Amino acid sequence: GDTVFLRFCEDRKKTMETVLQLVRKGADMDFLSEKFFEDYAFNLVRAVGYFLINLKREKNFVWSAMDFETYKKFGQPEGVREMAADNFFRGVCGVGYGVAILETKKGVVNMSFRSKKKVDVTKYAKLFGGGGHKNAAGATISASYDEAIKKIRTTLSG
């Protein structure tokens, strides 16, 4: 998962050797593939759709956000923020990265940054006290939803 399904490997040779060892030890790749790519809860897919329909573009990035009340209406699907960022936000043409923003509970706003290979999003996550990897990073802000959105947009656009 951390390699976004083998697309972002720090050491591709080592990663592929590890995959080969897992297969040799009996890892069921069909089962894993199905669980990761073909077994989504209905409300998870709907919540990703919400992120996509509300996607906005700034000069150098795209972003979308979901407040806690909306998140609750979808049943608080685990992984929705990461799924939207991994599968869609990083791939938008003409921008270097995307950020999916989710208020996971009142006053707690989480961000998932995802980028193309050449853009290091840890520098953006660190602006909010977060961290991560070059192409996948995250951060959390303790603030109201509206305050957090304003701070994120101001910080990233400035």
Q: What pLDDT shows up at residue 158?
A: 74
- Could you read off the pLDDT of 86-133 as tens digits, one per residue? 889 988 999 999 999 999 999 999 999 999 889 999 999 999 999 998
Nearest to 66 by CA among 94, 18, 102: 102
The tokens of 63 are what? Answer: 């972003």
pLDDT band at 3 (very low <50, low <70, confident <90, very high): low
Q: What pLDDT shows up at residue 37?
A: 66
* Overall average pLDDT of the 73-79 stretch: 96
pLDDT band at 147 (very low <50, low <70, confident <90, very high): very high
- Decide if 107 contacts 147 (C-beta within 8 A): no
Of 24-28, 29-33, 51-55, 131-135, give the lowest mean pLDDT range: 29-33
- CA 12 – CA 10 distance, rounded (Å): 6
- Asked if residue 2 has pLDDT above 70, the reply is no
- Decide if 132 contacts 123 (C-beta within 8 A): no
Q: What pLDDT shows up at residue 38?
A: 72
Neighbours of 7 (CB within 10 A): 10
Q: Considering the chain, what percentage of its residues have pLDDT values greater than 90?
A: 68
* Overall average pLDDT of the 70-87 stretch: 95
